[in-house]
Amino acid sequence: MIIALDGPAAAGKGTLAKRLAAALDLAHLDSGLLYRATAAVALERTVAPGDAEFIDASGSLQPGDSARNGLHSNAVATAASKAAALPEVRAALLAFQQNFARTPPGGKAGAVLDGRDIGTVVCPDAAVKIFVTASAEVRAKRRCLELQERGEDAIYQRVLQHVRERDRSDETRPVAPLKPASDAVLLDTSALTPDEVFEKAMAIVRSRSAG
């Protein structure tokens, strides 16, 4: 079974993906961390990695690399943005995600992948596709709380502006823009608790699996 979760930032898809994977005993992959993992691997090999190091790192990435420490550091974030601009890196990470879905690690019977183009590009034949969304205002509040819990300053209006700018960027990018797959189920989490989101998602999984 392959479950594809897509949606904008701070919609709750990451939390949901982890819970679904745990409940269904499936492998989980946060595709958004792959570029950071690629950058982290490249930085370990050289202080100032160039294109060749990024391409080599993306081609040798292992499933466990997306769970390594330090992926949210500024150095990794800066390097990840450089890596993401390379077509060779994007191609390698697409192949990585598709291979993860086809042959999940740990002998699992399937996988849950979350990102922005899982149902449309990475796994268009996924049995279950859910597009997780929420209003920009709600997502900005959630992101503020996340930042504050990490001890960082967070001003709501600035976070809201960043969320809206990120949405525009993701929705209008020429390659794999953010959009629901034609057969995805829309799940708006704006007024739902994490438990309610999980229950609704499980109902969708059961319905699609039965069908």
Check pLDDT > 80 for residue 74. no
Q: Tokens 């269904």 belong to which residue? A: 24
**Same structural domain for residues 33 and 21?**
no
**Same structural domain for residues 96 and 120?**
no
pLDDT of residue 84: 84
Top pLDDT among 81 and 37 is at 37
pLDDT digit string, tens, across residues 154-182: 899 999 998 999 888 888 888 788 899 99
> CA-to-CA distance for 95 and 97, rounded, in angstroms?
5
**Same structural domain for residues 201 and 116?**
yes
Average pLDDT, the chain: 92
Task: Tell which of 52, 80, 107 closes a domain.
Answer: 107
Check pLDDT > 70 for residue 92. yes
**Same structural domain for residues 202 and 120?**
yes
Confidence band, pLDDT 50/70/90 cuts, at residue 53: very high
What is the extent of the structural domain holding 130?
Answer: 1-26+111-211
Check pLDDT > 90 for residue 189. yes
Check pLDDT > 80 for residue 16. yes
> CA-to-CA distance for 40 and 185, rounded, in angstroms?
34
**Same structural domain for residues 152 and 210?**
yes
| Percent residues over pLDDT 90 in the chain | 68
pLDDT of residue 41: 95
Could you tell me the CA-to-CA distances from 131 to 102, 138, 182 in Å, in that order? 21, 16, 10
Check pLDDT > 70 for residue 211. no
Task: Tell which of 107, 131, 148 closes a domain.
Answer: 107
Neighbours of 135 (CB within 10 A): 14
**Same structural domain for residues 18 and 115?**
yes
pTM assigned to the model: 0.88
Pick the range with the lowest mean pLDDT from 9-23, 104-118, 161-175: 161-175
How many independent structural domains does the chain possess?
A: 2
**Same structural domain for residues 116 and 211?**
yes
Q: Any residues with CB less than 8 A from the CB of 175 and at least 6 apart, and which?
A: 90
Q: Any residues with CB less than 8 A from the CB of 32 and at least 6 apart, and which?
A: 14, 114, 115, 116
> CA-to-CA distance for 166 and 53, rounded, in angstroms?
27
Check pLDDT > 70 for residue 107. yes
**Same structural domain for residues 22 and 32?**
no
pLDDT of residue 15: 93
**Same structural domain for residues 95 and 158?**
no
**Same structural domain for residues 118 and 209?**
yes
**Same structural domain for residues 201 and 118?**
yes
Check pLDDT > 90 for residue 64. no
Could you tell me the CA-to-CA distances from 29 to 9, 32, 115, 140, 207 in Å, in that order? 16, 9, 9, 24, 23
On whether the CB atoms of residues 209 and 127 are closer than 8 A, the answer is: yes
**Same structural domain for residues 33 and 118?**
no
Check pLDDT > 90 for residue 9. no
Task: Tell which of 61, 76, 107 closes a domain.
Answer: 107
pLDDT digit string, tens, across residues 131-144: 999 999 999 999 89
Q: What is the CATH number of the domain that holds 15?
A: 3.40.50.300
> CA-to-CA distance for 76 and 169, rounded, in angstroms?
21
